[in-house]
């Protein structure tokens, strides 16, 4: 009896997981064409002048992610520090909600800031 109810709870027939169901499609259309993606990437790579700089930055990014993982692991091993960091994160989240999301004018300000950052990144500004 219990195993049957557990099976129903975690099976695909459960209404709880109805929104998570996916079905395979036989359609040949896909929003991203893999060949086109690889062709574009190859063209961009071939058009680069300083390939060594790109490789150096990519390697630096991988080292930075690894180093930050090591630092977070070390912080996590200190007994009270993870709870303090959670408290800091909750405080920052509360401040961000109050500062940018609570009022309509501040939401507009946030949107304009994000658009400005997008333009800087894209190089259109």
Query: Would residue 113 count as lying in a domain?
Result: yes
pLDDT single digits (tens) 89-121: 999 999 999 999 999 999 999 999 999 999 998
Query: Would residue 88 count as lying in a domain?
Result: yes
Angle between helices 51-77 and 81-96 (to 10 degrees): 120
**Virtual CA dihedral for 95, 101, 102, 105, nearest 10 degrees?**
120
Give the domain extent around 102: 81-125
Residue 76 near residue 69 (C-beta atoms within 8 A):
no
Query: Would residue 103 count as lying in a domain?
Result: yes
DSSP state of 55: H
My answer on whether 70 and 86 are in the same domain is no
Tokens at 64, concatenated: 């930075």
How many domains does the chain contain in total? Answer: 2
Full-prediction pTM beyond 0.85? no
pLDDT single digits (tens) 11-32: 555 555 555 555 655 555 556 7
């Amino acid at each position: 009896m219990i195993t049957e109810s557990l099976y129903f709870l975690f099976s695909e027939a459960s209404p709880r997981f109805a929104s998570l169901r996916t079905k395979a499609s036989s359609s040949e259309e896909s929003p991203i064409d893999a060949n086109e993606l690889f062709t574009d990437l190859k063209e961009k790579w071939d058009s680069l002048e300083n390939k060594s700089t790109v490789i150096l930055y990519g390697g630096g990014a991988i080292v930075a992610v690894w180093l930050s993982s090591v630092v977070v692991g070390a912080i996590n091993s200190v007994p009270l520090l993870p709870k303090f960091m959670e408290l800091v994160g909750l405080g920052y989240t509360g401040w961000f909600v109050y500062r940018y999301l609570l009022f309509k004018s501040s939401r507009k300000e946030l949107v304009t800031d994000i658009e400005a950052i997008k333009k800087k990144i894209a190089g259109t500004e």
